[in-house]
Amino acid sequence: MNAAWLAFDALLLAGILGVAWAAMAPGDAFRAIVMFMVMGLLVALAWVRLRAPDVALAEAAVGSGVTGALFLRTWHALPREAGRASEATAARPAAPRRLRLAAFGLAATLTGLLVAALASLDGTAPGLGDAVAARLAQSGVSNPVTAVLLNFRAYDTLLEVVVLLAAVVVVWSLDARPAPRPVPARGPIFLGFARLALPVTVLAAGYLLWLGAFAPGGAFQAGALLAAVGIVLLLGGLYRPGSGDRRRARLAFGLGLAGFAGAGALTLGLEGAMLRYPPAAAKTWILAIEAVLTLSIAATLAGLFLGERSAPARTGGERP
Amino acid sequence: MTTATALLYGLGGALLAGMALYRLVTAADWLRRIVAVNVLAVGVASILIATAYRGPAAPADPVPHAFVLTGIVVLVSTSAVALALIRLLHARDENHHDSR
């Protein structure tokens, strides 16, 4: 049994390394992006093996799915010859031999040091697992990862939401120019798939959000699913943005931070410390914050993908 | 490192990080470099998750998991901004080309 699992792990790891190299090797950019997305899914599988299902879900949905979609969108926006041949998108010509040798030396040193550090761990360090387990009952939720994210280290998550908001502000500022090429029309198969898959995906997102309190899931995973729904709706033309939608989208981007920071201010008043929830109602607080975050994360991730200019495409006139 | 499983995936993460660093320096096109940054982050996250592993029977340490979750969201934000910059640079190049 153990030997079989070890063989599976070795095979999976070989697959991850091979696909990762294919994603980074010179050649067709489209192929590289697809290889990168496959790598994300294989890595998610590996992390399930390491008993990290929350992170595996996030990697599959955000690291592989949303990031892959962002790459594909950029590939589509680049001039054809730039997207096809890698050298045309060159920041500079292919690296000279000396630079490649230096880079290899650097990379080999990094890997060597990491391996040495891993080998020096003897497995006796307790980590923080016991400290989390000891206070899990007071956190309001029974999923330890959610307890760390939304209770013990909620301040980190608040700042993470700030980073996400900053990113969408920058992307929308940079993208304020007309689309170079129109998005191709979707066929009946895409639309049929969308009509079947979208309602189920919305349900799954709500379920993941609720599940996060006591099982793998949570706001970021649910938000990524909802973002995918938004992207499919808009790309398929199933929803046509109106003139007020850009303002509504901006409100949705800020909603997560406003809600989280508002909860921080309220808890400061109620309990005397920022994001220390009233013990009896901790679960309600966490779920309320997560629900607001889910909607805002969904809007932000979809906004990162679509950019500002996709909103006025059909109404026109607002921007040159 | 207690278990062979954690050691295996930890070493895999170290190899991923090394490969990605090499390609980050040597890749000629911008898209490929951002892919390399993403692979580098996945390598580092793999090491964190491998060190959090406590064997098949015990629950893993949730704190590194929370770190990696935060890292994934920060990484997607970084990638989105970098990709927007690439689109802007290409648009600049085209305009420059047209005006000549």
**For chain B, domain boundaries:** 4-99
**Whether residue A295 sits in one domain with residue A159:** yes
**Whether residue A164 sits in one domain with residue A251:** yes
- List, for residues B5-22, the tens digit of each pLDDT value: 889 999 999 999 999 999
Q: Do A153 and B38 touch (CB under 8 A)?
A: no
Res A81: pLDDT: 57
Q: Establish if A196 belongs to a structural domain.
A: yes
Distance between CA atoms of residues A195 and A229, nearest Å: 10
Q: For A112-134, b where at least 16 C-beta lie within 10 A, e where not — what string?
A: eebbeebeeeeeeeeebbeebee
Q: Establish if A27 belongs to a structural domain.
A: yes
Q: Establish if A15 belongs to a structural domain.
A: yes
Tokens in use for A294? Answer: 């889910």
**B23, B28, B30, B31 alpha-carbon torsion, rounded to 10°:** -60
Q: Establish if A249 belongs to a structural domain.
A: yes
**Whether residue A146 sits in one domain with residue A271:** yes
Q: Do B20 and A180 touch (CB under 8 A)?
A: no
Q: Establish if A116 belongs to a structural domain.
A: no
- What's the predicted TM-score (pTM) here? 0.89
In Å, what is the CA distance from A179 to each residue of A77, A248, A309, B87, B88? Answer: 8, 21, 7, 11, 11
Q: What percent of chain B has pLDDT over 90?
A: 67
Please give the DSSP secondary-structure letter assigned to residue A277: -
Residue A309 reports pLDDT greater than 70 = no
- The 10 Å Cβ neighbour count of residue A40 is 26
Which of A8-17, A62-71, A259-268, B52-61 has the lowest average pLDDT?
B52-61
**Whether residue A305 sits in one domain with residue A176:** yes
Res A122: pLDDT: 73
Res A310: pLDDT: 57
Task: Specify the amino acid at residue A315.
Answer: T
In Å, what is the CA distance from A136 to each residue of A143, A231, B47, B85? Answer: 8, 37, 25, 43
Q: How many distinct structural domains can be found in chain A?
A: 2
Q: Measuring CA to CA, which residue among A173, A163, A304, A180 is closest to residue A234?
A: A304
Q: Do B29 and A88 touch (CB under 8 A)?
A: yes
Sole residue written with tokens 């998610």: A44
H/E element, A206: helix A188-211
- State which residue of chain A sits closest to B78, comparing Cα positions: A167
Q: Which residues of A touch B30 (CB under 8 A)?
A: 89, 91
Res A312: pLDDT: 43
Residues 6+ apart with CB under 8 A from A279: A138, A140
In Å, what is the CA distance from A171 to each residue of A89, A110, A164, A175, A312? Answer: 20, 32, 11, 6, 16
Res B96: pLDDT: 67
Given the candidates 2.60.120, 3.30.70, 3.40.50, 1.10.287, the CATH classification of the domain at B4-99 is 1.10.287
Q: Do A24 and B39 touch (CB under 8 A)?
A: yes
User: Any bridge partners for residue B29, and if so which?
Assistant: A90
Compute the average pLDDT of residues A293-299: 95
Task: Specify the amino acid at residue B9.
Answer: Y
Which of A201-215, A217-231, A302-316 has the lowest average pLDDT?
A302-316
Helix (H, G, I), strand (E, B) or coil at A182: coil
**Whether residue A162 sits in one domain with residue A251:** yes
Compute the average pLDDT of residues A17-45: 95
Q: State which of A62, A84, A106 marks the end of a domain.
A: A84
**Whether residue A150 sits in one domain with residue A74:** no
Burial grade of A269 (CB within 10 A; 0-12, 13-18, 19 or more): exposed
Sole residue written with tokens 């009952």: A137
Contact map slice: B 19-58 vs A, CB within 8 A: 19-23, 25-36, 38-39, 42, 45-47, 49-54, 56
**Whether residue A317 sits in one domain with residue A220:** yes
> Structural domain of residue A292, as residue ranges?
141-320
Q: Do B74 and A163 touch (CB under 8 A)?
A: yes
Helix (H, G, I), strand (E, B) or coil at A90: strand
Distance between CA atoms of residues A261 and A272, nearest Å: 15
